[in-house]
Structure 1
Amino acid sequence: MLAGYAQVRSTGGDLPVNPITNEPVDKVFLNDQGHDLQQLFQKFLMGAIGFSQGTDDYLGSDVDGKGLKASNAVDSEKGYSPLAHAWDEAFGYFGAARNFNDYTDDEIASKGGREDWKGHHDTNGDGKIDLKTEVNWGHSINAAKRDRGSQDSAKTDYTKEAMDHFIAGRHLIQNAGETLTADEMTTLEGHRDTIVAAWEKAIAATGVHYINDCLADLAADTLPYADYAKHWGELKGFTLGLQFNPASPVTVENFIAFHNLLGEAPKLPGQDGFDTYATDLRAARDILAAAYGFDSANVEGW
């Protein structure tokens, strides 16, 4: 679709039309159906690759020889074990800098704090930013955004929950023998469960955030088409990613019901269902709130 729109623009063909203003859309990734394809694809891929690999693959414990069931025998050439490698891969997909807990939520989200800590920091003082260890990426940033957006009466700390248990789990792996004992595996799985729960709650809370943005767009005197498409694309993309955790608290039935309420595109003026779409979005929001136990103040405020 993107390639088609790019070709239209390069050859001077008919452009998609903004259905609100009846003018050609001014962005190559925006079509006339309410899709911001850039946001939709990017946010979906964050779930389909990062969240899926991190939770279902590298932190999984259902396949012998993979994830948490990998050997903890240290490779003499690499200096780490397959289990340590799996744990570190999951940490990489979460996207946190090595000293994540030294940042404030404002700094992780690049919304305030120390000037040289906004999203990244030269922690070792070598005059360079190490992209592997000194930058916060992707999912870790969204976790901070939801933490900083949570209400004083119901503060969340998804960033610290995830990071503390990544560190604790890695410490356990480093100090365990080549084969973990049953108690060690139970403890490691507990760290994994806390990480995955915080990670997934941050994604679901981001879905709530974009439902609220869509509701604000729908309440405007004139629907802001580009903003509405962007917010819906982020909403749909992020929440499609919830399917990739096999232990998700969202049941298959509720996942289907949720996405049926969102639809395959946002409802636009003049379309069937537009007048009740805000009600549908609130019902979808209720599904997420119930599944993840979100406080009502945060559901309204994110």
Structure 2
Amino acid sequence: DEGFGYFGAARDYLAYSDEEIAAEGGRSDWQGHHDSDGDGAIDLAREHNWGASVNAAKRDLGAGGSTDYTTQAMRSFIDGRALILAAGESLTADELSTLRVHAETAVAAWENAVVATVVHYINDTIADTEAIDADPAAYVFVDHAKHWSEMKGFALGLQFNPRSKIAGADFAELHGLMGDQPVLATATPMERAAYVTSLQMARDLIGQRYGFTAAQLEGW
């Protein structure tokens, strides 16, 4: 129950399309939230999608149909909760084994969505860095700062899953490639180009460890 709360999905999450969860299309009254019980108000605990659940939908959209993190996570929460409810006071060994599969599936979908979000902001930061030289009129410092901060913040979060596929030396390498600050217009063109290469290497490292395809890495 606590994990589901942190995931942030509305109770009828599976009734939404990815576009609707992300508020990027679909039915006009399902844009991130919906008055499902028809009481004229949005219950923020039951009828609104928050945080991680929205990121999962955005990454599914960016993957062009090759991932379904939304369904994998939500279905696992529902099936795991139903198993616990049906079992009552205690679980058999088989039930416990099945419950662990549900938990691991939910965590894997959630983690993949987080890691895909790191990739998304790597791509945004690459585009921002390249725009300084390629299209100065289109460059926006505030966007660059936001994208880099999101990239770094989500990437730092990977250390808190003890089963993360990027840990130890990989975690240190990833953050070494990202650095501690964005490379801005105050740097030389050569320094910016070198940083873009480092970010591409960071993206490749993530792809190798999580089994993402080249198309997914580019699409996010």
Give the TM-score, by structure 2 length: 0.93
2:96 aligned to 185, 205, 216, which one?
A: 185
Deviations 1:141-178 (A, max 9, x none): 000001111135xx110000000110000000001131
1:219-258 counterparts in 2 under 5 A?
219-220=130-131, 221-222=135-136, 223-258=139-174
Structure 1 distance, partners of 2:35, 2:103, is 29
Structure 1 distance, partners of 2:155, 2:31, is 27
Does 2:57 match 1:144? yes
Structure 2 distance, partners of 1:150, 1:187, is 29
Give 1:283 shift.
Answer: 0.4
Q: Which residue of 1 is the match for residue 181 of structure 2?
A: 265
1:1-302 counterparts in 2 under 5 A?
88-152=1-65, 155-220=66-131, 221-222=135-136, 223-271=139-187, 273-302=191-220
Q: Does structure 1 conserve the Cα–Cα contact (< 8 Å) formed by 2:118 and 2:154?
A: yes
Structure 2 distance, partners of 1:95, 1:131, is 10
Bigger share in helix: 2
Structure 2 distance, partners of 1:118, 1:177, is 37
Q: Does structure 1 conserve the Cα–Cα contact (< 8 Å) formed by 2:129 and 2:192?
A: no
Structure 1 distance, partners of 2:6, 2:42, is 19
Amino acid at match of 1:236: K
Amino acid at match of 1:255: F
Structure 2 distance, partners of 1:257, 1:140, is 28
Which runs of no fewer than 5 residues in structure 1 stay unpaired?
1-87
With 124-133 and 216-225 compared, the bigger mean Cα shift is at 216-225
Structure 2 distance, partners of 1:179, 1:247, is 27
Determine which structure has more spread, i.e. the larger CA radius of gyration.
Answer: 1
Give 1:112 shift.
Answer: 0.7
Structure 2 distance, partners of 1:230, 1:300, is 20
Identity of aligned residues (%): 56
Give 1:100 shift.
Answer: 0.4
Structure 2 distance, partners of 1:215, 1:192, is 35
Count of aligned residue pairs for this structure pair: 213
Structure 2 distance, partners of 1:241, 1:106, is 26
Deviations 1:218-274 (A, max 9, x none): 221324322111110110111111111111111311111001111111122444843
Structure 2 distance, partners of 1:151, 1:178, is 43
With 207-216 and 174-183 compared, the bigger mean Cα shift is at 174-183
Instruction: Let me know the Cα RMSD of the aligned residues.
Output: 1.3
Structure 2 distance, partners of 1:126, 1:189, is 37
Give 1:136 shift.
Answer: 0.2
Structure 2 distance, partners of 1:269, 1:126, is 52
Structure 2 distance, partners of 1:137, 1:239, is 20
Larger RCO (CA within 8 A; separation ≥ 6): 1
Structure 2 distance, partners of 1:235, 1:124, is 37
Q: Does structure 1 conserve the Cα–Cα contact (< 8 Å) formed by 2:159 and 2:167?
A: no
Q: Does structure 1 conserve the Cα–Cα contact (< 8 Å) formed by 2:129 and 2:184?
A: no
